[in-house]
Structure formats: C-alpha cells, structure tokens
Amino acid sequence: MSLGMLALIGFLFGVGFGYFVQRAGLCFAHGLGEVFIGKGKRIVSLFLVIFVVTSLGFLLSELLSPSLGLKPVGQVRGHGFYNLLAGVFFGAGIFLNGGCVLGTLRQIGEGNMLFLVVLLSLIPGMALVVYGLDPLLERAYDVQQILVPELLGVPAPYVTVALVAGAIAWFVPLRRRK
C-alpha cells in the first residue's frame, strides 16, 4: 500500500472518528466523573461499545497477522506513594483542564480556542512524565509488562471472548432501561 493511500485512509478515519467524538460529546475523564456521581448510563454504554469494538479489533487483527495482535504496552507497577502522588496530579490536571486529551481535542474542534492553550501545555507535561517521572518510577518500583492472558495462563481469544460477552451482557440491560 502506498504512502498516499495510507495517508488518505488515516485522514478519512480521523475525520470519521472526530465526527463521532464530537457528536457523542465524548470525554473519558468527564464520563468517568458522571459514572461516579451516578448519572453516567450514556457514557457507560459508549465505553462498553468502544471496549467491544477495540477488543474484537485486536482479536481479529491477531488472527489476520500475529504481529498485529496484543502487545504488552501497559506497565504494572507496585503500589505506594508515587501512585498516590500521580493520582493527585492526574486528578488536578483533569480538574484544571475540564476533561481529558480527547475532550480537549473535541473542544478545539468545536471552536473553543482556550483549549488550544491546554493542548500546547500537554506537550511539556507529557515530556516531564516521560523524561522525569518514568525514570524515577523505574528505579522505585519493579516494573513489569504483562498481558491478562499471560497472567491467567489462558489463550487470548478465550479471555477476549469472555470479556466481550460480559460487556455485552452489561450493555443490553443498560439499553433496555432507557
């Protein structure tokens, strides 16, 4: 596939995804806040749909080409003071920002240019985390990269199908209550 074709597909996907995010008013941090205060049925439904689509996408991509499937991108660290400190910083950032990165991009797309300042502030903040906080955490904690199927000792398709079935079982009663 040529670079031009990849760029076109990426552009069309980005426009489609942006349209979906804007129409849904999607912001993960704001949505989690709604869930915790008890009025997040709509956002839980969106989260479940996103979970099902991405889970099945990763499962199918692994079946099509094993090099595309699940990869250990997350890190599981121990618990302690740094986790508490990171949670406080993250919560304060979400509070000051009024949402997450996805919500920030949505606000910019809707014409709220104040969020452009937020977006430009995210760049040095992320650099501070990658080059300052991550090395500190790697020295303080035993960092492991794991996948749930490896942790459970069960093949990935079984875990994925079980989690997707659970998400669908949770989604169906949510939709019926409307």
pLDDT digit string (tens) for 48-96?
Answer: 888 888 888 888 877 777 776 656 555 556 666 777 887 888 778 777 7
pTM: 0.62
- Token digits of residue 51: 């979970």
pLDDT of residue 172: 83
Cα distances (Å, whole numbers) of residue 136 to 49, 72, 164: 36, 21, 36
pLDDT band at 144 (very low <50, low <70, confident <90, very high): low
* Of 48, 29, 39, nearest in space to 103 by CA: 29
Beta bridge partners of 144: 76
